[in-house]
Amino acid sequence: MLEELKKEVVRVAKAAEDMGLCRHRSGNFSVRDRETGLICMTPTGVDRQTMRPEDVVVMDMEAKVVESLNGLRPTSEALMHLAAYDERSDVTAIVHTHSKFALVFAVLR
């Protein structure tokens, strides 16, 4: 189910890790399928370097897990992602990082 979107979530999550935008399992990623409205979301507790498309969790907008091939749970930030998608119909992807650059910017105001 939604295999191409799952691959894209994994690709972006790994790229963000490689760029230093998030470390040690911080941050999470999701994408909304325009046709079905289902959300492909990174799971909780999985290292991005070993993450595979079959680890990605598929949810509906009511936070029900529709597919989890490996029995994994979605990120603990799932409700935040769903709220953003609910509020903004034009948003089709969310990249939530814990970038050291954003942290420094926030601290320095």
Q: Which of 3, 17, 54, 77 is catalytic?
A: 77
End-to-end Cα spacing for the chain:
43
Pairing label, strands 65-67, 39-41: unpaired
Give CA angle at 96 (65, 3), nearest 5°.
45
Catalytic status, residue 3 = no
**Are 14 and 50 contacting, i.e. CB atoms less than 8 angstroms apart?**
no
Sheet holding 65-67, edge to edge: 65-67, 57-59, 39-41, 28-32, 93-96
Q: Which sequence positions are flagged as catalytic?
A: 77
